[in-house]
Amino acid sequence: MKKNFKVLFLAVFVSVASCSFTTKEFNDPNKDKLLLDLITYVIQKGHYDPKDINDEFSIGVYDKFIKGLDPLKRYFLASDIAEFSKYKTEIDDQIKNKDLSFFDLVYSRFQKRMADVQKIYPEVLAKPFDFTETETINVDYDKLAYANSPKELRSRWKQQLKFTTLASYYDSVEDQKNREKGVSDSDTNTDEEDETEFQDAAKNDSSKKEEPFVRKSLTELEQKAREAAKNSLDEYFDFTKDLQRTDYFAIYLNTIVEEFDPHTNYFAPPDKDRFDLRMSGKLEGIGARLQKKNDYITVIEVISGGPAWRSEKIEVGDAILKVKQEDEKDAVSIVGMRIDDAVKLIKGPKGTKVTLTIKNVDGTVSDKVLTRDVVELEETYAKSSLIETSDRKFGLINLPQFYFDMQNYKERNAATDVKKEIIRLKEEGMEGLVLDLRDNGGGSLRTAVDIAGLFIKKGPVVQVASNGNKEVLEDKDSEIVWDGPLVILVNELSASASEILAAAMQDYKRAIIIGSAQTYGKGTVQNVIDLNQWLRKNDLGDMGALKITSQKFYRVNGGSTQLEGVKSDVVMPDRYSYIDVGERDYDNPLPYDKIDAAKYNIWDGYIDYDETIEKSNARMEQNAHLKLIDDNARWIKERRDEKTVNLNYKMYSADIAQRKEETKRFDAINEYDNKLTFKSLPYETALMKQDTTLSEKRKRWHKNLSKDMYIEEAVHVLEDLKLSNIKAGKVADIKN
């Protein structure tokens, strides 16, 4: 695995610094026009399957940009849409001519409409709602027509705000009833799926400390619900106030590039930084998550193990007022500053000091000096547990994503971490291994190939095709770290690199795949191209980057995972079974196809591989609990398809009561006990003595695992898998 990876550092996506299709110059002094010209040129030259920029393309961009800005039809009027529509088939020509007329018109009109709305909602929420009226709201926004007048738009906002307030009011009434009964925490959530920016209003106060109970009248509760809705919208518009024209232009550029395929994206400079962080799982800074609230940059989470956590000087709810670097005399106020700009001041290289002026939760103000450090986001990384039955031990490794350090692959990556966990589990007597890739959206292909190499002697793992060329990425290391029974768990959200690994292990018959009928279905490869490399002289600042689909990958058997995903050997339904969440549910995914198979040898380590699959499927067919999970998945789908909601309080309450009654039969899902024992490994147990946060995280994880039927079936499969005499007499050669 050497030469191949110097050429293809794929799916996550290493910047291509040497891309040079031509000597074309980009020298427009207008940054927006230059970006438009640069991006469309690079994408047409470098995309795996570039589209013609024609009238059909123009219509797609038009529809998606308008919908992206106003998906719920709460801002634009029908007259605006009529005015915009003259550009419906002209955007392709505007792109070619670096003409921004369509964007400029829509952007300026959107700003005006948002300003209009900011006058509407405070006025509406200043007056009580009448929840005795018989009224409904339709939340099928795709079928909703645009308002014909400002008056009609106001009426639409009033109805939506009434819905939001009703949800909060209902919760408050139910909570008061429960507290009168002596129940401190109400579980009377509305469970409504209002897909709007208003939804948080009903839950807005959940993080606040519980106040002494004082009974309120229904009038007071209704007023409190309206105040919650207003506060939520105040925060929303406070956030949008910080957005600049460049932010909206980035949305427009993304609408254009995503017309090529769903995974081609433009990264404005801050977005590129966040992408790198997501892939490496670490950052350099103080170790706190921040959010802007009412002009203040507020701490919403202190990351375990980071400088803020170690210092015990910062806590959730603290507001950062000023920032001073160690080589500066004066502090800089960040009150009212854009959060991206504030974060740039707060974070910095490892070892440097920063002084933060903090308004503490108790209202006092003080200066806190922190030494920045590398903060690792542990939830990103692989973790393991020992599974004990009455007489046997098995290992479980959960891998949230295929991460790696973008500056130094060897420093830390998913493959080396998984290898370490396997060795540790073997030391504890592991007899079979479960690799959990559920909800793993992918990441670095290199780590996927390296992990596959831990389970096979050598051979091809994935095939990559681009522009008529094909390359086979192989495991060339004969070391096998684990040659025992292997099960891989997947679901509908297992994508990209997860599918590569699962597909390879399935094609080799090395592992049995348990999970959803099929995985996500993302079989494309993206590279990140630094757009600045194209500009010889650039006085316009950072241009950002383009993540571009440049290749497709294929299984060693020749089939693509694109759209089709990986079909599980043992199918077990889950809550996503009937929800549209896969690649095939996008508007414009690349198609499925096949190429010739690579040469590979089936794993010869099992004597009853197919029989074990048959036994497991037979168990699943007879399993009543699994039938209950499937019924619940169907019920969830039916609920999501409901688009009409009552705004009459009694009818709204009755609907919720009915749903609660219906869901009682699904309570057994959360009460399930798989009778397995889960234990942390010795090295982690030692860490927990110093880190109570880690200890609590593992307790919660193990509690959830004890209710996990999929883990239980994976253990049954491991128990059924028998090793052939050839492999049973061998011990994997572990090279530390």
User: For residue 736, what are the CA distances in angstroms to 416, 436, 481, 630, 733?
Assistant: 11, 24, 10, 44, 10
Give strand pairing partners of 466. 469
Question: CB atoms < 10 A from the CB of 285, how many?
Answer: 25
Residue 710 and residue 514 in contact, taking contact as beta carbons nearer than 8 Å = yes
Q: On the CB side of 638, how many CA atoms lie within 13 Å of its CA?
A: 9
Q: Could you please report the per-residue DSSP string of 376-426?
A: E-GGGS-EEEEEE-SS-EEEEEE---B-B-SS-TTTSBHHHHHHHHHHHHH
Q: Show Cβ contacts of residue 631 under 8 Å, excluding neighbours closer than 6 positions.
A: 665, 666
| Cβ contact 289:300 at 8 Å | yes
Q: Which of 232, 494, 496, 550 is catalytic?
A: 496
Give DSSP secondary structure letters for 321-347: EEEEETT-SS-EE-TT--HHHHHHHH-
Output the CA–CA distances (angstroms, integers) from residue 86 to 82, 102, 103, in the order listed: 7, 9, 13
Q: Do residues 549 and 590 touch, judged by C-beta distance below 8 A?
A: yes
Examine the residue annotation and report whether 436 is marked as an active-site residue of this protein. no
Cα(718)–Cα(383) distance, integer angstroms: 20
| CA atoms of 142 and 119, how far apart (whole Å) | 25
Are 435 and 486 in contact by the 8 Å Cβ rule? The answer is yes
Residue 359, φ and ψ in degrees, nearest 5: -95, 105
Active-site position among 70, 318, 507, 708: 507
Q: Is 507 a catalytic residue?
A: yes
Tokens, residue 10? 């794929």
> Across-strand partners of 357?
322, 367
Dist. CA 733–CA 736, nearest whole Å: 10
Looking at residue 394, its amino acid is F
216 carries an active-site annotation: no
From the list 64, 292, 383, 522, the catalytic residue is 522
3-class secondary-structure state, position 171: helix
Which of the residues are catalytic?
496, 507, 522
